[in-house]
Amino acid sequence: MRHRTQVGIVGAGPAGLFLSCLLARAGIDSIVLENRSRDYVENRIRAGVLEQGTVDLLNEAGLGGRLGREGLAHGGIEIRFDGRGHRIDFLALTGKAITVYGQHEVVKDLIAARLAEGRPLHFDVSDVAVEGFEGDSPVIRYSSAGVAHEIACDFIAGCDGFHGICRPSIPAGVLTLYERSYPFAWMGILAAAPPASKELIYAHHERGFALLSLRSPTLSRLYVQCGPEDDIGDWPDDRIWEELQRRTATSDGAFRVPQGAVLQKGITPMRSFVAEPMQCGRLFLAGDSAHIVPPTGAKGMNLAIADVHYLAQALAAHYRSGSTDLLAGYSARCLRRVWNAQRFSWWMTTMLHRHPDDTPFDRRRRLAELEYLTGSEAAMRSLAENYVGLPLE
């Protein structure tokens, strides 16, 4: 079965779905393909921190209704070490805030908007292949319910994540890959427990890093540093709660992490990854298909939203006037932001975690860095500016 559209989008995560909404508002047709089920993508727990710029973009696109009602605005975070907490006041330092709103909730909103407009969005597809993008006639092939399909399009947006098919379809020698794996991971849980704090707490401890986050007034998202080779079976619930209590304890012994039923549990490895350039002919990569950051800096989904904001602008300019300038400059424009986020995420990650090969010197130097960060207004402002999000171009 043959179809025709202007932009074929592979992947129905935040990048692909938001791109489809932006293109629709510019009068550009698209078809979105996803190899997972709708239920899977709507319930896949991922990041939950939105930069101010991301919130603004969603609102400008008319997609911020539920976000505005249910999102939790945070004016700062706490950095905790040596049993003491230090608040970084984003509002005072930058005039901006962050919003806690789960990635799966953003995805639900984007899917609802796409379907409400009656635009094509296909789940559970298989055998996806992208072809012809080095020439003028890109094609996406896929199967659905046993029927072979072909989409002829002007451009392809590869929004199918790190393990997707779009980036590997680019010929050898075109991309340069930059990658760093970290010698630790996160054991994360979603718990039916009230949050330990109204704002996120990042804790550095001799036993390892911990993060206290939240999803709602009754749901907590909590993490402890673990080994990248750890098995989830090595982390029974009691052990996780014990480590959370130890690593976030205050000197006076008064602080306790509220406990509750563990609803979800998983191990997240730490990786930094960038593919350059983020385009090949008429195939454009966006989001995790082009770059991965450690979650410590809360940049993953925000980078994906920024990527497709730039891509939508470039495609709109092309269809409006025939100009290819923004399309040609898409990769360079995105990568400036991507590498800034990589630097910030690497810094947050290396500063807050315990490293397996640390010497006593390394541990004392890291504490000195934390002392400087929390005692210098200039240093706190630098963290705040990066955390709430650098301005979009």
Write out the catalytic residue numbers.
Answer: 74, 202, 295, 299, 387
For 26-90, the DSSP string reads: TT--EEEE-SS-HHHHHS-----EE-HHHHHHHHHTT--HHHHHH-EEESEEEEEETTEEEEEEH
Could you tell me the two tokens for 298?
A: 């809360």
**C-alpha dihedral, 278 to 279 to 284 to 290, nearest 10°:** -20
> What spatial distance separates the first Cα and last Cα of the chain, rounded to whole Å?
41
The phi, psi pair for 390, rounded to 5°, reads -70, 155
Phi, psi (5° rounding) for residue 92?
-70, -35
CA distance 126 to 339: 33
For 176-238, give the DSSP string: EEEEEEEEEEEEEEEEES--SSSS-EEE--TT--EEEEEEETTEEEEEEEE-TT--GGG--HH
Q: What is the DSSP string of 289-358?
A: GTEE--GGG--HHHHHHHHHHHHHHHHHHHHHH---HHHHTHHHHHHHHHHHHHHHHHHHHHHHSPPTT-
Contact (CB, 8 A) for 166 and 289: yes
Query: 158 has which bridge partners?
Result: 10, 285
Q: How far is CA 222 from CA 101, 115, 174, 202, 253, in A?
A: 15, 33, 40, 10, 20
